[in-house]
Homo-oligomer: A and B are copies of this chain.
């Protein structure tokens, strides 16, 4: 990419109506919303950006995009190349690593199509058809029964509808419940199950800055991977694929993100948010902090202990970052005032309508009451989880399963019934590694100390966990005496009968049985509270839907959505951060840290150091935009108004973390990889001219 071409990508004066014009236009803030394709805010988009997609645009994009396990992706060539994030591909790449090849660390570039590597188990789905069955379902349910048994009837009728859809469309179909029950749809997907790895950058540049940089910007991650879909052994020709944009993005340009956002909780009531802010998140954060301290102390013993827990510590840092920023978001006075005002307005509207008042008028109070119930057992529920020990977590999972398995199937809890449930339990418990005794002990000691601090020594759960001992001593005793650190021992217990498990003298299993015996009342309280929250949350949502209908967007449900926005700076780190970063910034950080710092978190792979002179430092690398996204959007294409690919979403910033609960246009930003950086890297670092030609080929 020439220097002159890249210059000035930081601004484009014309071509977009100012963001400010969109603010205050309605209850939504700025570019808020993860919209279903059948219900786009066309007028708002036109008012803000002078653009709204038409039917052909949407059809093309829908057929070109994909749902992947945990994320999103898109077809980007006639021959079925699929673009997604490296972090979505990561675990799959790990699986196909063969002897002598670490494709995660070293990256992978297929020499030609014959060398593309099949990834067993990886599926990609294209949404082929959608059907709104709300009315049909309602009619069928009311014809079939009265109020009693309605739920079971609904499930059965919906299951039949899905089977019918599968027969009719020939595609895998699933229900999509929008607006907390306001609408029910059936979405039908073409499932592609021969997916092969074509190109993956090295982990060191795909996740430059590792977990340290997660949720931050300025950012410098080449977080992409290329797969190819095959059908019957030959490359698949998708009905549509995204063209690579020929003109690059500039600050202020419209960005459309199409993908599968996972879950949001934007309909939660103020009482729920306050409970999360004041009790639940701080409780989790204290537990994580204790765990982190325990592992830091362990790591301080020397280089080998430090190595053993480094990945776990980074994960903990990252979880702490999420909870801290979630709490900070819920402590934002202005944001919470907006949430409170919106709730007040809705309650008044519900109160003013006799029908809605009858169904949902008391729901906010019922939710608040259920929240109080939930908070009453929050500490116990939290302290019932593995306490930092994977061996104890295994023991608890095993005991709960075997206790259920000892009962007749009809008396078992949900999740412990079918053969499929059993297969899932086996998979969850069947991790293969030897557990390191030192790590287990340090982590468990921290977890036990936290239980003691939260519950006090007299609490029955604390008594079971500690048996009156010092947390360190108790952890040492449990970890030294258990045999569950070894995978073959755990495999043996998975195969064992309930009676054998329930009689074992292994101290971890003994403890797990005591905890299982104590857990009942807390689980019942939690289940009762959850049922009320679900029931009255849905009543509120349905009232809201009755009043506002489709002027609003439904909470995310890992189904296809469109979010629009613009490339836009935001305040961070005491200043405003630039909308784009460049390859120059990548090297700035690598140079400025040095290869050794923080375990090589900002060390560049050899190929990047070698090829540095070839690269134009002003090549746009990552950018931020005001699109409203959430986990699951990872790997979503970023499109311009022509529907052409300009970027690839891979993260949000710190201001996106509270996006689970609300969208704040001032600080919430999607973080994306610029499409130009992908091409430059493929051309100048990965020597993949054939693939680049394939991506740039005219359709």
A592 touches B588 (CB 8 A): no
* Complex partner residue of A573 from B7, B572, B595, CB under 8 angstroms: B572
Task: Report how far A594 CA is from B9 CA in the complex, Å.
Answer: 7
Q: Would you call A574 and B8 a contact (CB within 8 A)? A: no
Q: Which residues of B contact A592 (CB under 8 A)?
A: 10, 218, 578-582, 585, 620
**Contacting pair A594 B212 (CB below 8 A):** no
Residues of B within 8 A of A434 (CB): none
Chain A residues 167 to 217 lying within 8 A of chain B, measured CB to CB, are 209, 212-213, 215-216
Chain B binder among A101-109, A386-394, A596-604:
A596-604
Is residue A331 contacting chain B, with contact meaning CB distance below 8 A? no
A208 shortest CB reach to chain B, Å: 11
Measured CA separation A13–B597 after assembly (Å): 10
Question: Do B585 and A9 touch across chains, with their CB atoms under 8 A apart?
Answer: no
**A591 engages B216 (CB within 8 Å):** no
CB neighbours of A572 from chain B (8 A): 573
A251 to chain B: which residues have CB within 8 Å? 593-594, 597
- Copy number in the complex reads 2
Residues of B close to A573: CB separation below 8 A: 216, 572-573, 654
Residues on B with C-beta less than 8 A from A55 are none
Instruction: Flag if B575 contacts A581 (CB, 8 Å).
Output: no
Q: CA A215 – CA B587 in complex, angstroms?
A: 23
Q: Does A576 contact B (CB under 8 A)?
A: yes
Residues of chain A at interface, number, CB under 8 A: 47
| A321 close to B574 (CB less than 8 A) | yes
CA–CA, A351 and B648, complex, Å: 66
- CB closest chain-B residue, reference A590: B10
Q: Do the beta carbons of B582 and A591 come within 8 Å of each other? A: yes
Q: Are A576 and B596 in contact (CB under 8 A)?
A: no
Q: Any chain B CB within 8 A of the CB of A6?
A: yes
Contact yes or no, A11 B582, CB < 8 A: no
Minimum Cβ distance to chain B for residue A191 (Å): 38
Among B9, B325, B593, B617, the residue within 8 A (CB) of A587 is B617
* CA gap between A664 and B374 in the complex, in Å: 39
Residues 279-299 (chain A) with a chain B CB within 8 angstroms: none
Smallest CB separation, A319 vs chain B (Å): 13
A622 to chain B, nearest CB (A): 9
Q: Which of A1-58 contact B (CB under 8 A)?
A: 6-11, 13
> Residue on B with the closest CB to A585?
B588
Q: Are B597 and A591 in contact (CB under 8 A)?
A: no
What's the nearest-Cβ distance from chain B to residue A565, in Å? Answer: 18
**Which single residue of chain B is at the shortest CB-CB distance from A613?**
B3
In the complex, the answer to whether B574 meets A11 with C-beta atoms within 8 Å is no
In contact, B574 and A581 (Cβ under 8 angstroms): no
Complex Cα distance, B575 from A573, in Å, reads 10
Q: A618 in the interface, Cβ–Cβ < 8 Å?
A: yes
Q: Note all chain B residues with C-beta closer than 8 A to A575.
A: 209, 212-213, 216
Docked Cα-Cα span, A7 to B587, in Å, equals: 11
Interface centre among A216, A251, A574, A579 (most CB of B within 10 A): A574
Contacting residues, chain B, for A576 (C-beta < 8 A): 212, 598
Does A634 sit within 8 A of B, measured CB to CB?
Answer: no
- Give chain B nearest CB distance to A678 CB in angstroms: 17
What residues on B are CB-neighbors of A593 within 8 Å?
A: 10-11, 251, 569, 578-580
* Bound-state Cα–Cα, A589 to B217, Å: 12
Question: A588 contacts B584, CB within 8 Å?
Answer: yes
Question: Which residues of B are found within 8 Å of A7, using beta-carbon distances?
Answer: 591
A positions within 8 Å CB-CB of B: 6-11, 13, 209, 212-213, 215-216, 218, 250-251, 321, 325, 569, 572-576, 578-582, 584-585, 587-589, 591-598, 602, 617-618, 620, 653-654
